[in-house]
Each structure stands twice: as C-alpha cells, then as structure tokens.
Structure 1
Amino acid sequence: MPSAGELLVSSLRQHSVDVVFGIPGTHNLGIYAHLDRHGLRHVTPRHEQGAGYAADGYARVSGRPGVVITTTGPGVLNAAAAAGQAYSDSVPMLLISPGMPSGHRGGEGLLHETRDQSAALAAVCAASHRVRDPAELPGLLATVFTRLTSGRPRPVHLEIPYDLIDTEVDAAPLPPLPAAAPVADDRAVAAAAHTLAAARRPVVVAGGGARRATGELRDIAEALAAPVVTTANGKGVLPESHRLSLGAALHVPEVQQLLASADAVLAVGTELSETDTWNGPPRLTGRVVRVDIDPGQMHRNATADHPLTGDAAQVLTGLLGHLRSVPAHPRSGRRSGDTPPPAVRSAVRDYGRRWRDVTGALRAALPEDAVLTNDSAMACYFGALTGFPTERPGRFLYPTGFGTLGYALPAAVGASLASPGRPVAALSGDGGLQFTVNELATAVEVGAPLPVVVVSNGGYGMIRQEMTERGQPTVGVDLAVPDFPAIARAYGGHGCHVASPAELRDAVGKALGVPGPTVVVVPEPPASSTAPSA
C-alpha cells in the first residue's frame, strides 16, 4: 500500500500537475521521496516566498494551478505573502505543507511548532484543510482541484500532520470532480441586453474574470461600438491594438471621466476596486451590467442594475444573441472612429510619459507574444501598465491588490516554466528586486533566457515621493544600490548597466539569446516629465 506522502504525489499527477515549487525540510521528506518516481519536476527557489511567486507566475501563464510544497512553521509562513497575493488576484494556487502531529496540543516545544498553522494560512487563502485521516486525501484533493479550476480561483492550503505522511493507506487517486458554472437567467440577460442596446455612451470594463472570454468580449464591444478599458489583471483580454481598446487605464483621470459620463457600463469579471482606479470605487452614473462568476461581487464598489452571475463567455454569448434581436437604435449610426474619444485615447497614450522611453525600449525588444512580469515599482504601475501594450491575456503579470514587493523575478521563473520557449522578461525597481534577488540562483538553474530590467532610483521611490508630498522627512527610503550585474554574475548569470533607451533595447535583445538571467540596470528617467500623480 502507498504511504500518505506517495498518495498525495500520485494524486497531484492525477490532476495534471507536472511541476512543483518548494524547499524540502525535515517534516516533508515523505512527500519528496516520491516526486521523481511520479514524474513531477521540482524547482527549488531560495526562499518559500519566491516559491509562491513562481507558482503564481506559472498559474497566470499556463491557466493551471501552481503548486507549492513547503515544510512546517517558518517554511509555510514564508509563503503566506505569495498566497495573499494570489488570493487578491484570483490566482489558482495549491500550497501544501506538513503540520504539527495529530493530537498536537501546543506548547510542547516541537521543531517548527506553530500555535495554529492552519488558521494562519486560512487568513490569507480561500481555505485551509487539515487532514485528519490519510484515506480522505484522494477525495479532498479532487474537491480542492475542482475549486481551483472552476468558479473564482483562489489559493488553497492543504496541511498533513507530519506523523501521518509515512503511514500506509488503502486508497487510490480520484479523478477531478465535474463542475458546472452557474448559468444566468435568460430573462435577466435579455433585460441587460435591452439596457445596453439603448445606451448612447456605453463603456466596457474588463477584469481578470474575462480572460477566458476574449472572443466574446471583442464581439460584444464591437456590437456596442463601446470603448473597452481593463484592469491590470484583465490587460490584453482585448488586443490593445484594437480600435476600441483603451488598455489598462482605469487609473487615468480622463478614463474615469469617461466612465462617469457613460449611460451604461458593462463590467465583466472585475471588482471595480481602488487598486485599479487608485482613488476609490469608480463614479458610475449610468446603468450598470455586471457579469461575474462570483455572486458576492455584484454590488461591491458599484451596485449592479443587472447582476448576471455565470461564466463570462456564456453570459456574453447570451447578451450578444439578445443584442442582435433588439431593433436598431440611433446610436448605431455613430461613427466607430469616434470611440474611444480622441482626447481620452491621447490622455492614455501620454500617461506615464516619464517612463515611456524605458517601456518603449522593452516593447521594441520583446516579441509580441512575450511575457512581462512586473513588480510594485513606479516604472511598472506608472509606466508599463499603460506603456507596454499587450495583445492577449497572461502576457502582463502584475501584483495588484495585495501589492507585494519582490514579485517580478520569481514570477518570471514560473512563467518561463509554464510556457517553455516563450520569451519572458522581468521589470523591477532596485528596492523591490532586493526582496527576492536570491532567486537569480533559481533562474540560473532553470536556464531559460531571462532579461531582468532594473530601473534604479536608489531605494523606495514611491514612498519617498509620498513622504515629500506630506512635508515629512524622508526616512528609511534612501538605500544603497548594490552592483546588480555583479550579483547576477556571482550566481552564474549575466548583467550590465545601460544609459539610454537604445542601449536598453539592445541589451534586452541580447539577453533573449543567452541562457539564464541577465540583469540590465537603467537609471530612472529624470522627473522633468513626471506622470500625473494618482
């Protein structure tokens, strides 16, 4: 009979897991003993937080759950920040760890003892399950993977008491459980379609929940002749070269004014949260149609006049069918070239102009289908969010919401493993990179070409700016910048400093042909053309 550890690993294979990220420890060796035997590739980041970000990047690019295996106590708690980010951005992640032994009462002085490890992870995950009997593992994993691959995906923690991992169990892996998305009532869909058809100034807002409905979203936007603005997680759901696309620009004031003046807003798979608008929920004066798999989202941040709960592709298909049966409205005679309004499109294009040379050089150097991972850095949210156009979802990874630092580099490692051969690059600041700079070692071992562009401003530039605006002393934000290229070379990678956009473009292009990471440091552009403040 298999041990609980082997049953866990074979169940992961049953659910199509082929790579896991983690660090072995004393308490999880009974899991690690079976990884090779069952054909799971193991990637060892240098910190469990890096393992979590790598799994997050893997999931966003592949569309499959990212899996992390840690040890007890400090190991799994190190990964909690990454789990919190995955929860905030609705990323499917399975975090597996041993737990204190069955019957643990606390205060016994055990190695890695945590008072309530499962409760700690439940605070940042959608759920935390502590196994009571190894025989329940197959059914529990089938349930967990159904949750991860249907509905609103969010991280789940699975804890196995370490005294049970090597015990034999008479059980076998179970296949995934069938799951059906909720189906919106057709009468409600028809009513929403009539509202949209009657609108003279409709606008579409698309979030990460629209990632699997790209064709349907394009069709309905074209049918409405409506401009489309996305969240950071929805970036690319409508190709940003499309005539109706405004890109990920909910934070741009002119876009917010466009939304406020719309007589109908179709919001698809989005929280409409302040982490995308940067100044609170959007002001919507028109009728609101919301499409979301999560019914709990329907009245958050904006009350839905037409709440449509269901899979985005199915609901949008239904909306489009009803739209085509509604009699033509005078709005349909408006020239499509007038939408989005030229002034709004110009404002989006000019936003973040301070960083436009950097993002333009990156865009020119990277193939259209490349993945760019981003950190919580000024060059990313002021610059790349609007200044690095993408044509499809899963090509622009950014830690929205939870807003962790150190995301870009390990997420890029995960992205490269999710789609071997697809070019991947990371964009970070010098402050953020130092949270996970040790993952250069992981990138060297993975071996895929990986340009890591660091826009250096000597510390935490955004916080420094906020302190200055408040009129207070700048404390704790001015940091010595290490020689990042030298660090990369010490790990076995490559690196250089550049001084101009042309040099940056050439360096990134060269890095795409060199195995392993290449750190390219570029100074932050001067503030003479500062982007509008959020």
Structure 2
Amino acid sequence: MHYATGGDLLVAVLRELGVDTVFGIVSVHNLPLVEAVDRELRFVPVRHEATAVNAADAYGRARGSLGCALTSTGTGAGNAAGSLVEALSAGTSVLHITGQVESEFLGSGRGFIHETKDQLGMLRAVSAYAETVPSTEAAGHILREAARTALTDPGGPASVEWPVDLQYAAQTDSSSPVTETPLPFPADGEDGELAAARALLASAERPLIWAGGGATRARAELAELLHVTGAGLLSSNSGRGSVPEDHPQVIGNFATTPAARALLADADVLLTVGTHFRSNETADYGLELPAAHIQIDIDADAIGRVYPARHALRGHAPEVLAALLPHARPADPDWTRRVAAVRADVRATLHDNIGPQAAICDAIRAALPREAVVARDVTIPSSSWGNRLLEMYDPRDNVFPRGGGIGQGLGMGIGAALARPDAPTVVLAGDGGLAVHLGELLTLAQERPRLTLVVFNDGGYGVLRNMQDRYSERRSGVDLATPDFELLARACGLAYALIAAEEHAEPVISHAVASDGPTLVEVDLARLGPMKNPFTPPVKIPGQ
C-alpha cells in the first residue's frame, strides 16, 4: 500500500487496531501525524505530554485494547516518560509515537530545537519496546511491531520515534496487520509441575485464590474455579473485577486485614494468578502466605520473587487455569461459609472506619450503572476505600495508577470517559494530586465527556501529612495553597457542586453522574469531618 504521508499510514494502522481517539500535543516535530489523525479520527489536545500517555493508557484499559499518544521530541518525550513508567509498571497497552529531528541529522548534536541526547535510550528505559523509524518503507512494520509488543502479555508501552522528514514523505507499506502471538503452556519441562499442582489443588479442603492483574484475562476460568471449589478469592488492586465483587466468595483487596490474615493462616492451599505482590498490598512484604503455594504467571522472573512457590506454573492464565480446572474439588462447606463471613466482616469494618466518607462511597456506587469506570488518583479516599470498598464488577472499570504516582487520575479519567462515551465516569482525586496537572481541567472543559471529578480538598498532601503527624515532630512540604474550586470551575466553564456534610453526598453525586457533561464536585473534608483513624500507607519507617 502507498500513503501520501506518515500521518496517513498511522491512521490506517490505528484503524486496523480499532483505535478511534488519540491523545497528544501538536508540535513542529509531529505535525503530519496530528493533522492526519485530527482529520480522520479524533485528536484530543491535552495540556501536558504526561497526560497524553495517561489518557491513552486508560483509554486502552477501559476498552480492553490499545491506546495511542502523540508527543513531540526532546522535552515532549521527556515529559511523557513518567507516565510511560506507569504503563510499564501496569503492563498496559500504549502506543507512544514521538517525533525526531530530520533523519539526516539524527545523533549529530547540532542543537536543533527539541533535540536531546539519546532520546531512544531514554525511551527504551521506560518502554517494553522502543525503535526509530529508519525509512519510509519500514514505518508500517515498526508501528505494527510496537503495537504487537504492547498487546502481548505481559504488555507495557511501546515507543516509536519518527524523524519529521520521514513523516512528511510518501510511505510504502507491505507489512501485515497485527496478530496475537501464541503463548505456549506448559512451558518446556513444566509437565511435572502441572501434575503436582493438580494433585495439590485436588487435595485442598481450605483453598484460597489470589487474583492479580494477570487474572483479568481469565475471568471465565476464575469464576468457574470459584464455583467448583467454593474457595475464597483475595485480589490485588490490579485484579479487582476479575470476578464481580458482589460475588459471595470474593473477599477482594483486603488481604492485610486481621480477618483475612487469619484466613490465610488456616488455608491449606493458596493459588495465586498473575500477581506481583506489591509492597502496598502485602503490608510492605510483612504478610505471611501459606507454604502450599501454587503460583501462575506469564513472567518467569515473577515466580518466587517475593514469596516462595511450591509449584511454579509459567503461562497464560486462561490456559493454565483451564488445565487445572478438571482436577479441582469442592472445599469443606464450613470453609466456604467462613469465607462469606470474612467478606462481610472486612467490608463492614472499613465502612465504619472511614466515618462520613462512607456516605460518598455509597452514593457513587448507587449512582453509577453496574459497568462504569471509576478512575482513582493517589489520595486518601482512593487508598483507603476507593481501592477496596467501592465495588468493581469488571476489570475494565478499575482504572488507577498502579505504580503509585500522584497526579495521574484526571488524565486517566478523561481517557476512559472518551473510550466509553455511553457510560458515566467518576474520578477520585485529592487537591494536591489535581494540582499536578491542573491544566487538564481545560481539556475536560473542551472535550466535555460524561465525567464527574470528585476532588477531596484537605489543603495539601494528606497521606504524607498523616505520616508526619504520626512519626515526626513537624510537617514539611505537605500543607499547600488550594484554589477556590468553585471559582476555578466557573473560569473553566465547568459545573460545580459542594459536599460539606454526609447528607449532601447522595443528591450531589446522583445529579452530577446523571448529567451529560463534566462536573467538578468539591468535598470539603474539614467540614465533612474526619475518619475514625487517620490513614497512613503501609510503609516502614526505620527506627519506628
């Protein structure tokens, strides 16, 4: 096939991939790409390159597919790097395309505008795949190879730098459309491990399953395993929604609670699926797991890295679980009843502990349809109850920065809302995190998705403030100037509402979610009142 410019080729490849919306910032070094996308698809002009990648990331997560971001070279690509780290941490499918100086002068160090030293090296450090387009004949192949890598488990972002002269030139494309790479199971030499794991699972009377992000690809198999065994299901934050969280056997992201720890202590088999046991989900690695541990992961390096695995099964979760299912047996009925009791206990305890914020959690869940994205920035409400108590029924609805970086929530929410325009989206953010990319309020006003932005205003960085109040004698860097959010919303052309008491939550949230456009809802935490116990993250402080 022949295309008049690189932009026309990019549009053709994106159409093959089912991508209809691209996020980015226009530049002299990506103009042919932006012009073609804007003409043929939808181009969303965000206000920062980091947001372009965050929005593309969440667009892909919300659709269960690929997202695309366009940035400029040099500083623009550097601005995107932090969000590429997030996509790499999460294993999400992002195609990041950035510009470059003219191909004749690549690496010359002449000092062209936007030029930087070893941009490709920087991109390789924060991407699962990174390559330079060397010619007009190779561009199609490189774009599709990048997309294939991003879409193949364990996933991650793929970055392509494209010299601007080659973007303007006519393209010849003879490469084939992207196809999935088969993932074999069992891997060589693992037949014995599979047989041993089957025998252990068949012997279990008190089984537990732990679902991580890799389990989201095996929803049917995981639900069937719960049905056959009566096991309890714990999850990491990334695995939420693999089985709908109103299922009576789903305990959820509560592994470090006292009741769940006791359940783990009494379990005779633990089957973990695609989880990397992050520090914030294991009490900074202080959580104890059963010795009889079967671990499934596509990443060989992940198996046994944090907790020992008696049986290591390397492969794609759907195929591995399908191989185990015929050997699963029902658990002791008393164990299944205990699982249901623990599920109810941990939720009731957290609902009580968060005090007046429980009214907001309840109002959000009541206002949203069963399948709707809730994007959460790193803030106390997200970390304490948004990541646990606010039920998820589909992993595509569960959007949050898995790497823990603050300030990414609004960009993710915009991407998710535009990916699924027929359903409302809710974003939970703190005033400190929102300030990191405050300019994206203008993107929100310009694109006008069905998005409710709930800003929890405590005048700074509440998580770190609570840590300092608990462990230090003074506060440092946590108390921040906060805008008048009503005036700010008005200046941006956004609807505004205030929650300052529990009784405000239901009418304010339901009205905002039902609207056809964006609304900024401010939660005045000082007037709402405190949680029963201040939230602090599960990190170790030396000497404490």
How far off its partner does 1:199 sit? 2.3
One-letter amino acid of the structure 1 residue matched with residue 138 of structure 2:
E
**CA offsets 1:234-268 (integer angstroms, 9 cap, x no match):** 11111111111112223434424433442211101
Q: Does 1:506 align with 2:511?
A: no
Larger deviation, residues 3-12 vs 379-388:
3-12
Percent identity (aligned):
33
Say if 1:130 and 1:265 are closer, same or farther in 2 by CA, change over 3 A.
Answer: same
Say if 1:531 and 1:315 are closer, same or farther in 2 by CA, change over 3 A.
Answer: farther
The residue number in structure 1 matching 2:278 is: 273
Alpha-carbon contact 1:23-1:45 (below 8 Å) kept: yes
The residue number in structure 2 matching 1:517 is: 518
The residue number in structure 2 matching 1:529 is: 532
**CA offsets 1:177-230 (integer angstroms, 9 cap, x no match):** 341112125553332121122123221100111112112111112322211011
How far off its partner does 1:382 sit? 0.7
Among 320, 323, 333, the residue aligned to 2:325? 320
Runs of 4+ aligned residues of structure 1 deviating over 6 Å after TM superposition are none
One-letter amino acid of the structure 1 residue matched with residue 393 of structure 2:
E
**Counterpart secondary structure, 1:289:** strand
Alpha-carbon contact 2:206-2:332 (below 8 Å) kept: no
One-letter amino acid of the structure 1 residue matched with residue 441 of structure 2:
L
How far off its partner does 1:334 sit? 3.6
Q: Does 1:296 align with 2:298?
A: no
One-letter amino acid of the structure 2 residue matched with residue 469 of structure 1:
R
The residue number in structure 2 matching 1:471 is: 472
Alpha-carbon contact 1:504-1:520 (below 8 Å) kept: no
Alpha-carbon contact 1:373-1:397 (below 8 Å) kept: yes
Alpha-carbon contact 2:291-2:310 (below 8 Å) kept: no
Q: Does 1:74 align with 2:75?
A: yes
Root-mean-square deviation (CA, aligned residues, Å) is 2.1
Alpha-carbon contact 2:34-2:43 (below 8 Å) kept: no
| Whole-angstrom distance in 2 between the partners of 1:444 and 1:373 | 18
The residue number in structure 2 matching 1:370 is: 372
One-letter amino acid of the structure 1 residue matched with residue 132 of structure 2:
R
The residue number in structure 1 matching 2:350 is: 351
**CA offsets 1:120-171 (integer angstroms, 9 cap, x no match):** 1222111211122231122222222222222211011111122322223333
Say if 1:502 and 1:364 are closer, same or farther in 2 by CA, change over 3 A.
Answer: farther
| Whole-angstrom distance in 2 between the partners of 1:257 and 1:161 | 58
- Count of residues in Structure 1 that have an aligned counterpart in Structure 2: 526
One-letter amino acid of the structure 2 residue matched with residue 338 of structure 1:
R
Say if 1:232 and 1:441 are closer, same or farther in 2 by CA, change over 3 A.
Answer: same
How far off its partner does 1:356 sit? 2.1
Alpha-carbon contact 1:488-1:517 (below 8 Å) kept: no
The residue number in structure 1 matching 2:339 is: 339
The residue number in structure 1 matching 2:251 is: 246
Normalising by structure 1, report the TM-score: 0.93
**Counterpart secondary structure, 1:27:** coil
Say if 1:64 and 1:345 are closer, same or farther in 2 by CA, change over 3 A.
Answer: same
| Whole-angstrom distance in 2 between the partners of 1:474 and 1:410 | 29
**Counterpart secondary structure, 2:30:** helix
**Counterpart secondary structure, 1:96:** strand
The residue number in structure 2 matching 1:383 is: 385
Alpha-carbon contact 1:142-1:177 (below 8 Å) kept: no
**Counterpart secondary structure, 1:336:** helix
Q: Does 1:201 align with 2:206?
A: yes
How far off its partner does 1:173 sit? 5.2
Q: Does 1:170 align with 2:193?
A: no
Larger deviation, residues 72-81 vs 179-188:
179-188
Larger deviation, residues 106-115 vs 233-242:
106-115
Among 134, 138, 161, the residue aligned to 2:140? 138
Alpha-carbon contact 1:374-1:399 (below 8 Å) kept: yes
How far off its partner does 1:528 sit? 5.5
Among 17, 20, 33, the residue aligned to 1:18? 20
Among 106, 115, 128, the residue aligned to 2:130? 128
The residue number in structure 2 matching 1:28 is: 30
Say if 1:291 and 1:396 are closer, same or farther in 2 by CA, change over 3 A.
Answer: same
Alpha-carbon contact 2:294-2:311 (below 8 Å) kept: yes
Normalising by structure 2, report the TM-score: 0.91
| Whole-angstrom distance in 1 between the partners of 2:280 and 2:378 | 12
Say if 1:333 and 1:262 are closer, same or farther in 2 by CA, change over 3 A.
Answer: closer
Alpha-carbon contact 1:496-1:520 (below 8 Å) kept: yes
Say if 1:11 and 1:365 are closer, same or farther in 2 by CA, change over 3 A.
Answer: closer
How far off its partner does 1:274 sit? 0.9
Structure 2: 5+ residue stretches without partners: 539-544
How far off its partner does 1:439 sit? 1.5
| Whole-angstrom distance in 1 between the partners of 2:254 and 2:342 | 14
Among 180, 190, 193, the residue aligned to 1:188? 193
One-letter amino acid of the structure 2 residue matched with residue 433 of structure 1:
L
Say if 1:287 and 1:364 are closer, same or farther in 2 by CA, change over 3 A.
Answer: same
One-letter amino acid of the structure 2 residue matched with residue 351 of structure 1:
L
| Whole-angstrom distance in 2 between the partners of 1:256 and 1:161 | 54
**CA offsets 1:454-507 (integer angstroms, 9 cap, x no match):** 111110011111122222421211112211232122111111222123312211
Larger deviation, residues 97-106 vs 293-302:
97-106
**Counterpart secondary structure, 1:272:** coil
Larger deviation, residues 164-173 vs 62-71:
164-173
| Whole-angstrom distance in 1 between the partners of 2:262 and 2:463 | 25
Alpha-carbon contact 1:291-1:310 (below 8 Å) kept: yes
The residue number in structure 2 matching 1:237 is: 242
| Whole-angstrom distance in 2 between the partners of 1:146 and 1:8 | 15
Alpha-carbon contact 2:94-2:157 (below 8 Å) kept: yes
Alpha-carbon contact 1:230-1:250 (below 8 Å) kept: yes
